Amino acid sequence: MRKENFRNIAIIAHVDHGKTTLVDGLLKQSGTFQAHQQIEERVMDSMDLEKERGITITAKNTTVSYKNIKINIMDTPGHADFGGEVERSLNLVDGALLLVDSSEGPLPQTRFVLKKALDKDLPIILVINKIDRSDARIEEVTNEVYDLFIDLDATEEQIEFPIIYTNAKEGTAQYSLDESSSNLEPLFDSIIKEIKGPIADDSKEAQFLITSLDYDSYVGQVAIGRLNNGRLKINDSYSLCSENSIERNQKFSALYTFEGLKRIQVDELVAGDIIAVAGINGITIGDTIANNENPVPLPRIEVDEPTVSMLFYVNNSPFAGKEGKYLTTRHIKERLNKEILSNVSIQVLETQRTDVFEVRGRGELQMAVLIETMRREGYELMVSKPRVITKEENGKTLEPMEKVFLDIPEDKVGTITEKLSIRKGRMTNLQNHGSGRVNMEFSIPSRGLIGFRSQFLTDTQGAGIMNKLFDGYAPWFGLIPQRNSGAIVADRSGKVTTYASLGMVDRGELFLDVGMEVYSGMILGERNRPEDLNVNITKEKKLTNMRASGSDNTVNLRPPKRLSLDQSIEFIAEDELVEITPISIRLRKMELDQNKRMSARKKEKYAG
């Protein structure tokens, strides 16, 4: 039975193609807000980190009403590291809007999300967005999308997708390019016409698949998902079907349906809707809430496996505990366990050491977001350099591969090709459009890309665009040289002095301001040569050494290069750690003792 008074859709695209902006328009034009209400841009990007980084990190649902039909919309992230969010969102919907930027065309993540949608046999509406761009190439981009469908083995039915042209920023949509439009009605109408209502039956036994978890300070944990069948009533009892067990006689403390950005409390929910419930403890994403007597769980949500891993250490640096609230093994363990309840693409493994946890995810950005979230919550921890997750097959070690797509200025081709080939990248395509920019494609072990982004941005002076796509596994490529510079390391604790910093001007680049406290073994900067350099950065100028007065002032101290969390994670080598507290980000050697580091190096040399 189809419920024609509902539509459940997802908006999917490559990063920045305008999904969240389009949702703003849909919300505004469906009368969700009051006339005088001030609405911020990209209102669905509600997390602080989403606002700061200008990207969507978690998929979120909202609801609009059009011609008496309730449209539930999932806004999904476009960055590859958050692909798991797209995968889980597609479980909730009966169709998808595939957004494509009118100039950029389909990019790697367009391919990833479209493949996932086609695998689920979802009908697609192609939305060519940003038609106002002066460099729009709408016809070509449309053809590229057809090619992509064919390349992904879409069925004939799937390929006959409708096309809508939008300017999400202005909130306009049109059926063809030679008409004008002042609103999104053509898009609303296409959603109603092309995407069918959910197949759901109120009279069947209840089945509610949990696809996301939220926390509310009044009611505690809130579970969100689609009520696939049956009704949920506030006074009835239900079963919670977890991965390995079924708990009966569960009662809700509240039931909710969605309206705009709000949750509305109700006493009863109907099948086909996207809903939320509170009051049931111990829920994990993928669980089903079902009939009490005769529970039938739905298939659990499956997402692609993680590809990178990082070790999270309890902070044992000399400054541990000075700045954070939570730092013990128990704190870190509890926090990570909480994360996996609500984040489908992260895994946490114990290690041989009780104070070290292995965290697995889809990429460095996803890891950085988790770490940044933790530090803002008051945690202190240390993390290692990200590593790729290998597989064993027929006694051979395989490592994850990536396709990298670059769009760079012509004169950078040489530098970038050289840098990528050192990292075992192989060029598979090169197109020079004669516009001064060149498109290149490389096949490269994922390992070779760890820490490459900042290098790439420096080499292209910020004018390069890099996208990547997971591309299966290949036999281990052997040693890939990483950072080829050494670190400047503090040989004692104390405060950074101007005098000592001036002495470093020819040695490399410092990361710390004068006056900052350091400890022995802490990394102060990047050396301009291989091999680490241990220095006394706390040295004061001896009065007896004073030459002509004011000689200090003639040499200007360069401002230090303060590394962000992402840059710090990219920078560190295998034997180094990033120490993170709510206030500071410090880099350090794993082994703080200089003598022990020296003897380890010697041993390595003899062994090698």
* Binding of residue 77 to ligand GTP (CB under 6 A): yes
By a kind-dependent CB cut-off of 5 to 8 A, residue 181 interacts, out of Mg ion, ligand GTP, none, with none
Alpha helices by DSSP H, 68-209 = 83-89, 108-119, 138-151, 156-159, 185-194
* Binding of residue 362 to ligand GTP (CB under 6 A): no
Structure-token pair, residue 534: 């241990």
CA–CA distance, 352 with 330 (Å, rounded to integer): 16
Environment class of residue 298 by beta-carbon count within 10 Å: exposed (0-12), middle (13-18) or buried (19+)? buried
Residue closer to ligand GTP (CB basis): 104 or 380: 104
Least distance (Å) between residue 53 CB and ligand GTP? 8
- Print the binding letters for residues 443-462 with Mg ion: x by CB under 5 A, - otherwise: --------------------
* Binding of residue 172 to ligand GTP (CB under 6 A): no
Q: Which stretch binds Mg ion (CB under 5 A): 50-58, 147-155, 252-260, 410-418?
A: 50-58
* Binding of residue 130 to ligand GTP (CB under 6 A): yes
By CB under 5 A, what part of segment 170-199 binds Mg ion?
none
User: Rounded to the nearest 5°, which phi and psi values hold at 312?
Assistant: -105, 120
CA–CA distance, 57 with 76 (Å, rounded to integer): 8
Judged by CB under 5 A, which of 7, 14, 17, 19 binds Mg ion?
19
* Binding of residue 52 to ligand GTP (CB under 6 A): no
* Binding of residue 116 to ligand GTP (CB under 6 A): no
Judged by CB under 6 A, which of 129, 257, 307, 568 binds ligand GTP?
129
- Print the binding letters for residues 11-50 with ligand GTP: x by CB under 6 A, - otherwise: --x-xxxxxxx--------------------x--------
By a kind-dependent CB cut-off of 5 to 8 A, residue 130 interacts, out of ligand GTP, Mg ion, none, with ligand GTP
* Binding of residue 468 to ligand GTP (CB under 6 A): no
* Binding of residue 8 to ligand GTP (CB under 6 A): no
Place of tokens 């109603």: 192
Residue closer to Mg ion (CB basis): 52 or 268: 52
Ordered DSSP codes for 476-539: ---------S-EEEESS-EE--HHHHHTTTTTEEE-S-TT-EE-TTEEEEEESSSS-EEE-TTP
CA–CA distance, 414 with 608 (Å, rounded to integer): 33
- Partners of 246 in the β-ladder: 241
By a kind-dependent CB cut-off of 5 to 8 A, residue 18 interacts, out of ligand GTP, Mg ion, none, with ligand GTP
- Print the binding letters for residues 84-113 with ligand GTP: x by CB under 6 A, - otherwise: ------------------------------
Which residue from 362, 254, 384, 260 is spatially nearest to 314, judged by alpha carbons?
384
* Binding of residue 56 to Mg ion (CB under 5 A): yes
Place of tokens 């597609």: 90
Q: Are 109 and 83 in contact (CB under 8 A)?
A: yes
Which residue from 239, 210, 206 is spatially nearest to 226, judged by alpha carbons?
210
Helices (H) and strands (E) in the chain, counts: 15, 35
* Binding of residue 169 to ligand GTP (CB under 6 A): yes
By a kind-dependent CB cut-off of 5 to 8 A, residue 412 interacts, out of ligand GTP, Mg ion, none, with none
* Binding of residue 288 to Mg ion (CB under 5 A): no
User: Rounded to the nearest 5°, which phi and psi values hold at 422?
Assistant: -60, -35
CB-closest chain residue to ligand GTP: 78
Q: Determine the distance from the C-alpha atom of residue 295 to the mean position of all C-alpha atoms in its chain, rounded to a whole number.
A: 35
* Binding of residue 73 to ligand GTP (CB under 6 A): no
- Other CB atoms within 10 A of residue 456 CB: 21
By a kind-dependent CB cut-off of 5 to 8 A, residue 464 interacts, out of Mg ion, ligand GTP, none, with none
The footprint of Mg ion (CB under 5 A) covers 19-20, 56
